[in-house]
Each structure stands twice: as C-alpha cells, then as structure tokens.
A and B are shown apart, each in its own frame.
Chain A
Amino acid sequence: MLHIVNKSPFDRNSLESCLRLAKKGSAVLLIEDGVYGATKGSSVEVKVQGAMANLKVYALGADLQARGVADRVLDGVTVVDYGGFVDLVADHSNLQSWL
C-alpha cells in the first residue's frame, strides 16, 4: 500500500497517524508540506528514521526544491519526480492520502 502525506509533521498529526497505521512493507510518499518530515536535524528525524526500518519513504523532489530543503534530505529517503509519483501509484495495488 502507498500512503501519501502532504502535511508538515509540525502542523498536523497526519504523518504520525500514517506511521501508526501503515503496515510493514508499505510505502510512504511525502509531498507538499509533508516533505519537511523528510529533512535532517528536525525533531521528527528519529521517528521517521525508525519508521524506515519497516517502511519505504519517498519525497517529491519538486516540493523539496520549492521549500529550499532539497539539500538536507534524510539518508534512506528516495527522492522522486512527478513521474516517479505516478510509478509509485501504479506499483502499489492500493493507496491512501492522509489529508
């Protein structure tokens, strides 16, 4: 399953809830303000890194670049473009947006 999170983890609990309810082996794609959850040195870094033991985490490059944080992406997070976003949707049999 693909989980899409578009909210900053410092503003809403979407990422937290997603990580609580995503099953092992699922993928999480961070887009829009959600990409802040994929950056180094933040207070959620440990939580996200811990989650990566069970989940594959992706972040949308266009949103990282727009926000000036493309150079501080957490190790282990895969950066994708919109085409990669489409591939993630196609490659997972179901998906959910954590609005």
Chain B
Amino acid sequence: MKIGVLVSEGPYTHQASDSAYNFVKAAIEKGHEIYRVFFYHDGVNNATRLTEPPRDDRNIVNRWSELSKQHNLDLVVCIAAAQRRGIMDANEAKRQGKDADNLAEGFRISGLGQLVEAGIQCDRLVTFGD
C-alpha cells in the first residue's frame, strides 16, 4: 500500500516526529511503500542539519536522513513554512541573499502542492502533529 505521512511539529518539543519515524519504519518493515514524508508548520524544523542534541539523546534529524538514505525516502519540506522558520537549502539561501543554509541531507524543499499530490497519489495519508 502507498502511504503518505504529514509531520506538523518540530523535533523534541512534541512527540510527533518520533511517532512518525516509528510509524514509517514499521510501515516499511511491513512492505508498504512510503510515498513521501511531508514536513509542514513547525515540522520543517526536523530538517535543520545544525541540530546537535546531547550524546545520550536520539538525533531526530539524522535519524530521518539515515532512513531516507536506506530506503530512498522522499522527505519534503514545505518551502513557505521553511522560509518563515529559517530552513534553507543552498539554492534558496543564495536566492534570498542569506549567509548560510541548513537543510539536512536527504531532505528537499518544495511547494505545498507536494502535500496535496501525496493525498491524491497515496492510499492513505497519516498526520502526526500537536
């Protein structure tokens, strides 16, 4: 089955990103296809590579990046939500005249249409948020 996932909260403050990660892992183990994980609202904060949690804590951002690498997951960050919150890839930073970018490996920035498209293409769309 084709499953899309929407993550609406950032890492650490809310459990949403942890729940989404555990759900996605379990879905892949069961042989389902994760069509896309879309990050919206404060969920875009899951995509900053500047995250550096204490060593005894999980690294939520790296965990998504690694899962993406292993399973070729499409991790999409909403561009409008990302710009509000200071999440940029190198191209966008250049375009906006910023002196830095911070998008983590495995994530890409795109439009909200990617969420609607996931809703159309997937058999199920599961939302994790606050």
- A–B direct touch, CB within 8 Å, in complex? yes
Q: Which residues of A contact B (CB under 8 A)?
A: 4, 6, 31-33, 62, 81-83, 85-87, 89-90, 94-95, 97, 99
Q: How far is the CA of A95 from the CA of B130 in the complex (A)?
A: 17
Q: Which residues of B contact A (CB under 8 A)?
A: 1, 3, 8, 15-16, 19, 22-23, 25-27, 29-30, 32, 123-130
Distance to closest chain B CB from A19 (angstroms): 19
B23 and A82 contacting across the interface, CB-CB below 8 Å: yes
Residues from chain B with a CB closer than 8 A to the CB of A94 are: 124
Q: Is the interface of A mostly helix, strand, loop or mixed?
A: helix
B1 and A90 contacting across the interface, CB-CB below 8 Å: yes
Residues from chain B with a CB closer than 8 A to the CB of A95 are: 124-126
Residues from chain B with a CB closer than 8 A to the CB of A87 are: 30
Counting chain B CB atoms within 10 Å of each CB, which of A4, A33, A86 scores highest?
A86
Distance to closest chain B CB from A24 (angstroms): 22
B26 and A82 contacting across the interface, CB-CB below 8 Å: yes
Q: Which residue of B lies closest to A92 (CB)?
A: B124
B128 and A97 contacting across the interface, CB-CB below 8 Å: yes
Q: Which residue of A lies closest to B126 (CB)?
A: A89
> Which among B8, B27, B127, B130 is the interface contact of A86 at CB below 8 angstroms?
B27
Residues from chain B with a CB closer than 8 A to the CB of A6 are: 15-16, 19, 128-129
